[in-house]
Structure 1
Amino acid sequence: MPADLAVIGLGHLGLPLAQAAVSAGIQTIGYDTDPRAFAELSAGRTPVEGSLTASDIRRMLSGGFRPTTNQAELGRVRTAVICAPTPLGPDRTLDLTAVGDAARALAARLRPHTTVLLESAVHPGTTENFLLPLLEEGSGLRGGRDFHLAHSPSRLDPGNRTHVYTNTPKVIGGLTPACTESAATFYSRLTDKVVRARGPREAEMTKVLETNFRHVNIALVNEMAVLCHDLGVDLWDVIRCAETKPFGFQPFRPGPGVGGHGAPVDPGYLPYNSRTPGHPLRMVSLAQEINDRMPQYVIQRCATLLNEHGKSLRSARILLLGVTYKPDLADQEASPAREIATRLMDMGAQIGYHDPHVLDWRVRELPVPRADSLYEAASSADLTVLLQHHRTYDLQGLAVKAQLLLDTRGATPAGAAHRL
């Protein structure tokens, strides 16, 4: 049966988009070349940790959503949205391999008057310089004349119950004004407000600004955390006071590192044809350096706390609480927990973990023992480290049971634990 929409890439970006489209009554197919993703979705299970729940998937299927690996189905839709992953490569540039594969698959079936949208996080210029040539070469059609093309950066905030798809404004930048309007017509069915950018590059750069804003401000409070600890100042109380200012301030909070799917982008790492000579974002590079240091700082604090209580980090029993990148989700993307565990193991510590959302956790392909009883594990561990504050954790009770508790999230009551 023909569909109105094809979502290409059924990961952490594509599945929520497909869910929103099905909820809006849009006939939607989901295309992915991964047979495991197809099998999981067809069986009513989610293929991506921390994304939609199994009940969400079942509701989508009952609402008409169809996962497929059949490339031919891409030629039967009016709108196609590319949601392929773009992880950071070894050279710190975004890896566009999956976007390229999606573009080639779509181009082979692209029909005139189709609206093609890119939601993947990409470097400014990617829509015009990378995606457009692939679509035109593979289809024989001309972008902006025979088909519409636009970029719309994803603004997903997993687990956020206040800002969901429908009430989060969608930024759109089209190759031509007609492309922008075609994209706006589609997204207006999913969200209450669309914001028209001047073009694809402005839309792409919007994502860069939003992501870098988060990383730079987290880096600032991470540096403040180290400074305040050295000076004997309670940073968490400082933030509580500062956030009462009704203008010119937005609270951010420190932590053991920065996780999530949005990677900071420094023009120094852009593809050569997108770089601006002599104008790197030095603040972004510095922020990344600061945030990358936080796992090592957590290790330092662990060693100091143990030493102050007459214990050595080597052979110490350490319990890590919360190994996901965000509270109350199973998603472990770029979570600092893995690096912290690796460093502690290298220094001879005995590691265990507890996380209500992660039943099996591996570091260096080796299983890490999972605590069945949280309180018993905390009372027997030499040091318990809160890395992620899931709402199921009773931190007041945990502070009583634990021999030593290091809170990297500032979630425990003042004086109940050692805080970052």
Structure 2
Amino acid sequence: MKDILQKIENKEAVIGVIGLGYVGLPLCREFVRGGAKVLGFDVDPKKIEAIDAKKTYIEHIPDETIAEMVESGLFSATTNLDRLSEPDAILIAVPTPLNKMREPDLSFVENSCREISIRLRKGQLVVLESTTYPGTTREIIKPILEESSGLIADNNDFYLAYSPEREDPGRKDFTTKTIPKVVGGYNETSLQVATAVYKLAIDTPVSVSSCDAAEAAKILENTYRSVNIALVNELKMLFDRMDIDVWEVIDAAKTKPFGFTAFYPGPGLGGHCIPIDPFYLSWKAKEYGVPTRFIELAGEINTAMPEWVVNKVMHALNDKGKAVKGSKILLLGMAYKPNVDDDRESPSYKLMELLNKFGAEVEYHDPHVPMIRHKREYPQYYGQESVELTKENLQQFDCVLISTDHQAVDYAFVCQHADLVVDTRNCCEDAVVKA
């Protein structure tokens, strides 16, 4: 342990990052800025080609940042997994989706660990960053790493930790560097090594007693948001029946300086965390015979929101004397949140699918998503391009459905020229059906 701690202190340790997406690439950036040598790994050759060309593929990380990283001489990226033996610390930041049965799919994590295991050398640190249920690092990751390597974590042949990502694309007030980083080690020596590594890039590592505690902390963060968003979504549907504006109610409630945190309704949940992570915990809870009623109920409400929104669109068109079948609908926003190009798990895809099933012709506009990239769940929309937001284009649609509240969109212009606007984000006041 003294050897690797000395290498870390001298900034001689090489940091490997598996997965160069919305989590992995910002992590690489902060380690490079901290003076560490970083080797990135990804199975997508297009990402490696972009990095080699000093070009970005994530909107909020500009070309200049990629160029800065590469030109520093500290950062390189590869698809060659044989080089996993080179880093002193390997951080895993790969997807942890749900399968069709809404059960945890750890295949990306497991495959990454198998690749590490056959190359694992004594003294390396392996850290999982992907969100998962408590017990994953200890029960799944550790046995895989030990299986092919012949190394034993309990003997400190290698070090093992869990440190959940807290990336929030597009956020201005906090960065990867300034967001406190929870770190849980498999044992005390693993915790010391992992904490020392993260101090190279992160201002405030926060140590907890175990990998399980760190895994549970991340699940708690996202379950908290899921449950509270479900609450306001349910109240939105109730207040709609009561002819009360839920947005006005929230604005009034949040004037209380204590005891209330504002959450806002929407057309469904998006991103790679809140729609998925709570189900990891509810799945694991079954092993212990403990019902997770809040999580299950929140999931039911949030996943049902796209259908509720589509129903509002159908009624709004009906009031105009039109059927949804054959109507032309413009979806405003494919990203799951404002002002970013991140469309992972975006409810806009479900809205588009539902409207298509009812016979509507759906196009979209999103200044941050010029073309729809390949989606495992919605391959049929690959290659569809954003339409220009002009007066003439708006007038040809029977309905404009606002799904994402991007600042770059002029919503007053939309309401002025669209025949019908259904607003799920409280963007407009004129000629609007709130949904």
1:59 aligns with 2:68: yes
TM-score after normalising by structure 2 = 0.90
In the alignment, is the contact (CA less than 8 A) between 1:267 and 1:275 conserved in 2? Answer: no
In the alignment, is the contact (CA less than 8 A) between 1:51 and 1:331 conserved in 2? Answer: no
Structure 2 letter corresponding to 1:123: Y
SS of residue paired to 1:270:
helix
261, 272, 278: which one aligns with 1:265: 278
Q: Which residue of 1 aligns with 2:7?
A: none
Answer with 337-346 or 167-176: which moved more: 337-346
Residues 315-368 of structure 1, C-alpha deviations (whole Å, 9 max, x = no match):
122111111111111121111111111211221222221111122238652565
In the alignment, is the contact (CA less than 8 A) between 2:369 and 2:386 conserved in 1? Answer: no
1:296 aligns with 2:316: no
Report the Cα distance in structure 1 between the residues aligned to 2:212 and 2:97, rounded to whole angstroms.
20
Q: Which residue of 1 aligns with 2:91?
A: 81
Report the Cα distance in structure 1 between the residues aligned to 2:277 and 2:162, rounded to whole angstroms.
19
Report the Cα distance in structure 2 between the residues aligned to 1:365 and 1:97, rounded to whole angstroms.
24
Alignment: residue pair count:
415
Answer with 26-35 or 252-261: which moved more: 26-35
Q: Which residue of 2 aligns with 1:155?
A: 166
Residues 192-215 of structure 1, C-alpha deviations (whole Å, 9 max, x = no match):
212111100010011111111111
Q: 1:122 to 1:50 in 2, by over 3 A?
A: farther
Q: Which residue of 1 aligns with 2:147?
A: 137
Report the Cα distance in structure 2 between the residues aligned to 1:289 and 1:148, rounded to whole angstroms.
39
Q: 1:395 to 1:296 in 2, by over 3 A?
A: same
SS of residue paired to 1:254:
coil
Report the Cα distance in structure 1 between the residues aligned to 2:301 and 2:75, rounded to whole angstroms.
43
Q: 1:269 to 1:234 in 2, by over 3 A?
A: closer
Report the Cα distance in structure 2 between the residues aligned to 1:238 and 1:214, rounded to whole angstroms.
19
Unaligned runs of 5+ in 1: none
1:419 aligns with 2:419: no
101, 113, 118: which one aligns with 1:103: 113
Q: Which residue of 1 aligns with 2:128?
A: 118
SS of residue paired to 1:265:
helix
Q: Which residue of 2 aligns with 1:378?
A: 394
Q: 1:159 to 1:198 in 2, by over 3 A?
A: same
Q: Which residue of 2 aligns with 1:201?
A: 212
177, 181, 185: which one aligns with 2:188: 177
Residues 7-55 of structure 1, C-alpha deviations (whole Å, 9 max, x = no match):
11222221111111111111000022333332333233345x5563433
Structure 1 letter corresponding to 2:38: T
Report the Cα distance in structure 2 between the residues aligned to 1:341 and 1:140, rounded to whole angstroms.
50
Report the Cα distance in structure 1 between the residues aligned to 2:281 and 2:226, rounded to whole angstroms.
16
Structure 1 letter corresponding to 2:226: H
Q: 1:106 to 1:78 in 2, by over 3 A?
A: same
Q: 1:374 to 1:284 in 2, by over 3 A?
A: farther
TM-score after normalising by structure 1 = 0.93
Q: 1:364 to 1:35 in 2, by over 3 A?
A: closer
Task: State the shift of 1:375 in Å.
Answer: 2.9
1:31 aligns with 2:33: no
1, 4, 19: which one aligns with 2:14: 4
In the alignment, is the contact (CA less than 8 A) between 1:264 and 1:284 conserved in 2? Answer: no
Q: 1:84 to 1:370 in 2, by over 3 A?
A: closer
Residues 170-193 of structure 1, C-alpha deviations (whole Å, 9 max, x = no match):
001101122112111111222221
Unaligned runs of 5+ in 2: 1-11
Identity of matched residues, %: 37
Report the Cα distance in structure 2 between the residues aligned to 1:344 and 1:178, rounded to whole angstroms.
54
Report the Cα distance in structure 2 between the residues aligned to 1:23 and 1:240, rounded to whole angstroms.
40
243, 247, 250: which one aligns with 1:236: 247
